[in-house]
Structure formats: structure tokens, C-alpha cells
Amino acid sequence: MIALTLSQIASAVRGDLRLAGDDTPDTVVSGTVDTDSRLIGPGDIFVAKPGETTDGHLFVDAVAQAGAVLAIVERPVEASVSQIVVADAVRALADLARDVVARVRANGALQVVGITGSNGKTTTKNLLARILESEGETVSPRASFNNEVGAPLTMLRVTHDTRFLVSEFGASAPGEIARLAGLVEPDIAVELMIGMAHAGGFGGIEATFAAKAELIHAARPDGLAVLNADDPRVAAMADIATDRGMAVRWFGRGTADVTAGDVEVTAAGTNCTITAGGQSLPLRLRVLGEHHVTNALAAIATATALGVSLADCIERLETVEIAERWRMQPMGSDRVRIINDAYNASPDSMAAALRTLAQITGPGERRVAVLGPMSELGEYAAEEHDRVGLLAVRLGIQRIVVVGDDARRMFLEAIAQGSWDSEAVFFATADEAYDYLMGELRDGDRVLVKSSNSAGLRFLGDRLGESFS
């Protein structure tokens, strides 16, 4: 975090400062801010967030012993560290992030990019950060730090030398993106796609549209909206942007400011030709999956709007080997290739992953899909799981391994569509599926492991990857 006095922090979070030791209101602190006591070291700031399974207040004394210089708490704790008492620690974290970003913006050339969408946020964030980090100091989320805690923690990593802050905004309910993006008022708002992810929580696709459009409403009126021309719902956000005085920049596979053609999907990645500003250049993206071309286009559209040349964008993107751990991550070996994509799953990303499996499996090789449940679909869960089972059969997946009771409908639909002669099997647990696969997989198999994070199949993917490495 940038250097601030204890009194400045107390003012930013609207808290009551309780001093310890030799500290005064003018004591300057500049350490890392975190809610995880295990990550706190000398000079750091600990936010004692109450949690579902534990309470951060129980660790205030431990972080004091570890060298923390400040704890933000909801109640005073007996410990040898200065504390700021607030009504709500999570809200205080957001208030501090807003204050820090505003100070950096006032004193420098910080550009803030906000990214949202039902799928592709983390991949696009990583691709864009890779492009921008060669231009200047760039701060972006670790993993999927995109919620009410992760987003402010990312914002608090900016310094007075930071040129780009790339924020990823997820949401589990209406209003969440508005609150998070409102902390920084992005200069550029990137909208990837509107799909069925979290539709159960939002109450349907139109409610999902409204939630994702909150990023456009939160952006600066003189800013830029980077929109997916291939998604009709995202395209409709252009009216919202122009009504607010924002410029619009399009990306997509069809007519757009930044577009891709000659797309070829291989087991080594995806090749295509990128066209932007009247220039066309080849891109050899090592990230698996045709759907990641769209994420690359979004990153390029944003970076070129920030002044990066198309040639530099492509050169840097070609150094990216995987989007993120557990996202289309190649594992195993040429003998048995495992694609571990089990960090998140929605109907759209499930379909994209299955199509990728079909595209990269060559003659004499076998397609194997290990599928777990998709979460947060609410009333749409049954229908969408049926669709996945149907798609797997239509794509000619030779072995469909369904894991977990919440995913059983995929198995039943595959059976109903004719995959009944050992082509589709069901297991209640990942351990049972692992035992089956260790006896079933053979040379030439290409294996996709795909599920929502909550299903835990990413660890099954890791086990398979290690077993066949």
C-alpha cells in the first residue's frame, strides 16, 4: 500500500484509532494489506474480517507478534498493535481501497480497466496484464480476486508508480459490481459476454444483463466501453455507454474494430489472424480453446486503446502458456493428455471446453470427458445439465464420466441419447472416478476434466495429470 499515516487511514475507513506502543496519529505505515493472518509480516496491515468458519479477531494477537503495525477491527482486541475500530471490516477495506486509488490517481497517470462477463474474466485479465506489464507497472488480481474482499485487496497494491490497474469484477448478486467498480470508476469498462453463469442467483438472463451492465454505469463518463460485438446482449450495452458520454470500441469474430479470422484449433493452442486499425498479423496463442480467441481480442482491443501497438500485443500474448491454473491447463503427457479446466463451469464454458476436446483429438485418439456439476444455476440447473449431456453425445465423446450427485442428469441424458454401452458412466465421488479412469485410460486418450470449483474435480485433474506425466 502507499504510505499513509494512521490518522489518514482512520479517516478513510471512518474508524476510531486506538494507538499502541510508541505509535502516534502521524505514524506512517505502508505495508501489505490482507485479511489472511498467515500472510501478514513485519510492517503489514491486518483486516480482521469475520468469516463463515472463523473470526479474524482471533488472530490479531498473532499478527501483532508477526510484526503487523495496524489491525482494522470491529471490536477492540487485547494485543500489542495499534487498531482502528470500524462498524464493518469489509466495508472499511473497500473504503480504504477507494481512498488509496484516488490518491494515486490524483498524483500520477494511473489508468483503471474493469473487466466483467459471465465467462472469460480471469483469462482476459491475465492476457491484458501480460501485455501491459511491459509498458509500465501493472497491478492485476491474483487468481480470481474479484469479489468484495479480493477486488479491494488488489486495488490496495497500487503505488504512485503504477500505470495500470486491471480489476476483475465478479458478482453473486445484483449491485455487487456497482459497489466494487464504484470504488475506482474505471477509465475502460470491458464487457465479455452474458451467459447463464450465476443465473440462478440473479433470477434469469435479463437480470444477469442488468448486473453486468453495472460496470458501464460505474465507469467514468468520459471513458471507454470495450464491447463484444458477437454477443447481442453485450452489444446492447452500447446505448448505455453512449448515453453516458462514453466512447465504444468493438471486438469480435465478425465486424468489429478488432477481429480475428482464419482460426485454427490444435492441441498446441489456437492460431488466427488478428486485424486492428487496418493491420493484420498472425497470432499463435498457446492457450487451449477457440473460445480464448475472444478473450485475446478483448485484451488487444483494450491494450491498443491504451496506446500499445498490435505487434507488441501479439508478441506478448504468444508468451502466455496457460490462462490460469485449472483453466484449460494441459497436463499429463503426449501419451495421455489431461486438460484440467475444473476451476469454474457454466453452460457456456462447459460447451466451449467440450468443443475444444472434440477439435484437438486427432485420428486414432479417444475423447474422454470427466464432468462434474455446474453451480449457481438455480431453477435452470436441470435443463442446463441435460444440455451438457446431450452435447457430449453429439460431439462424439467416447467416454463420458460424470461425477457427483448434482451432475447425475448429465449421465442420464447421455444414456437417453444412446451412450449406454459403457460410453457413459457415473460415480458419486472423485476417488471412485479416479480408480475407474486409472484402469480405463489408454495411450492416445485426450481427457477433459470440467466442473464448477465447488465440485473439487480440479484436484482429480491434478491427480490424473501427475499419474500420466
Q: Cα(399)–Cα(328) distance, rounded to whole angstroms?
A: 19
Question: Domain 108-317 maps to which CATH number in 3.20.20.100, 3.30.360.10, 3.90.79.10, 3.40.1190.10?
Answer: 3.40.1190.10
Note the pLDDT tens digit of each residue in 339-359: 999 988 889 889 999 999 999
What integer pLDDT is reported at residue 170 of this predicted model? 84
Q: Per-residue DSSP letters for 224-272?
A: EEEEETT-HHHHTHHHHHHHTT-EEEEEESSSSSEEEEEEEEETTEEEE
Instruction: Write down the pLDDT at residue 144.
Output: 66
The CATH homologous superfamily of the domain defined by 329-467: Mur ligase, C-terminal domain (3.90.190.20)
Task: Match domain 4-87 to its CATH number in 3.20.20.60, 3.40.1390.10, 3.30.2130.10, 3.40.50.300.
Answer: 3.40.1390.10
* pTM to 2 decimal places: 0.86
With beta carbons less than 8 A apart as the criterion, state whether 250 and 260 touch. no
**pLDDT tens string 50-72:** 987 889 999 999 999 999 999 99
Tens of pLDDT, residue by residue over 92-111, are 999 999 999 999 999 878 99
Residue 198 has pLDDT above 70, yes or no: no
For helices 291-305 and 121-132, the axis angle rounded to 10 degrees is 40
Q: What per-residue confidence (pLDDT) applies to 201?
A: 57
Residue 259 pLDDT: 98
Q: What are the backbone angles phi and psi of residue 194, rounded to the nearest 5°? A: -115, 115
Q: Between the CA of residue 142 and those of 14, 150, 184, what are the distances in Å? A: 28, 9, 18
Average confidence (pLDDT) over 411-416: 93
pLDDT in tens, 144-192: 677 899 999 999 999 999 999 999 998 778 899 999 999 999 999 999 9
- Domain(s) of CATH 3.40.1190.10: residues in the chain: 108-317
Name the amino acid, one letter, at 71.
Answer: A
Report the pLDDT value the prediction gives residue 267, as an integer from 0 to 100: 84
Mean pLDDT, the chain, whole residue set: 93
DSSP secondary structure letters along 206-229: HHHHHHHHHHHHHS-TTSEEEEET
Percent of the chain with pLDDT over 90: 79
- Sorted by sequence, the CB contacts under 8 Å of residue 175 that are 6+ apart come out as 211, 214
Residue labelled with grid coordinates 506489464: 133
pLDDT for 282 equals: 97
Which residue shows C-alpha cell 484436484? 459
Q: CATH 3.90.190.20 occupies which residues in the chain?
A: 329-467
pLDDT, tens digit (0-9, with 9 covering 90-100), for 377-386:
888 899 999 9
pLDDT digits 0-9 by tens, 249-282: 999 999 999 999 999 988 888 999 999 999 999 9
- pLDDT at residue 200, rounded to an integer: 55
Lowest mean pLDDT among 80-94, 319-333, 434-448, 450-464: 319-333
Residue ranges matching CATH 3.40.1390.10 in the chain: 4-87
| Per-residue pLDDT at 35 exceeds 80 | yes
Whether the pLDDT of residue 197 is over 60: the answer is no
Residue 45's pLDDT is what? 98
Q: Which residue did the predictor score with more confidence, 170 or 389? A: 389
Give Cα 219 to chain centroid, integer Å.
19
Which comes out higher in pLDDT, residue 363 or 276? Answer: 276
